[in-house]
Amino acid sequence: MDWEWMAVQRLGAALVGVLLGSLLPAEAVARWRTGRGTRTLGLRPGAYDTARRFGAAAGALVLLGDAGKTAAACAVARAALPELGGLAVIWAGLGAVAGHCYSFWHRGRGGPGTAVLAGWVVLCLPFTGVLAVVGGAALTLATGYLPLGAVAAPVFAAPIALLQYGAHGPEAGLCLLAGAVLASARQRPALRSVLHGAEPPFYESWDDPDDTGEP
């Protein structure tokens, strides 16, 4: 198959991911509850900040929305671009991460991408990806820092994809690492605070609803 056509298909899958990933459920919940956007409330548009401000049910709704839009992007890309096979999920998921972290619909202001990353990893690697997500969750629980666990899941998944995707393993692994880089860049302030010991563990910051970090 012509490599140019395959490149176009990859870009198409990524574009589907960007457009759907740019939809921010947290923004919808914030406007529904207060009539104001997350940024004006000092919130990051993700499940964690939503749960802290509006309660666990609202946070769960955002979590499901973020995971759902990722699954929808991957399903649409897989159906529309069958020649890509599993790579459609890889590229659509990467696009969803990019769209969520740098939302096209919100002038590049997106969320941290925790649920999107986790959902993408599981969709890419339905069985072993769960182990990578569990590893990321374990890192969060061990350190108390959500950003570390969020970006760790795709890093843990990359070598697994290298093995499971056969000839396309390097491509799949690099895409997963690229997703981790995108999320790390979005969470750069929080990660910097972690490195300098200025970021409170999530179980402490939960008690202070005004301490949400940078949106």
pLDDT tens track for 197-213:
777 787 776 555 454 44
Task: Specify the number of domains making up the chain.
Answer: 1
Which residues, other chains included, contact 82 with Cβ-Cβ below 8 Å and sequence gap of 6+?
Answer: 88
Q: Using an 8 Å Cβ cutoff, are 99 and 21 in contact?
A: yes
Q: Tell me, what's the pLDDT at 42? A: 87
Whether 196 is in a domain gets the answer yes
Whether 214 is in a domain gets the answer no
Three-state DSSP state, 99:
helix
Q: Using an 8 Å Cβ cutoff, are 48 and 134 in contact?
A: no
Q: Using an 8 Å Cβ cutoff, are 87 and 168 in contact?
A: yes
Helix ranges (H only) for 55-167 are 56-80, 87-101, 114-124, 128-143, 146-164
Whether 213 is in a domain gets the answer no
pLDDT, one tens digit per residue, over 65-118 is: 999 999 999 999 999 999 999 999 999 999 999 999 999 888 888 999 999 999
Whether 215 is in a domain gets the answer no
Whether 166 is in a domain gets the answer yes
Whether 143 is in a domain gets the answer yes
Whether 211 is in a domain gets the answer no
Whether 164 is in a domain gets the answer yes
Q: Tell me, what's the pLDDT at 1? A: 55
Which of 152, 144, 209, 212 is closest to 179 using CA atoms?
152
Q: Tell me, what's the pLDDT at 9? A: 96
- Mean pLDDT for 125-152 is 93
Lowest-confidence pick of 51-65, 116-130, 181-195: 181-195
The whole domain housing 191 covers 3-205
In angstroms, what CA-CA distances link 157 with 46, 102, 110, 118?
22, 23, 23, 10
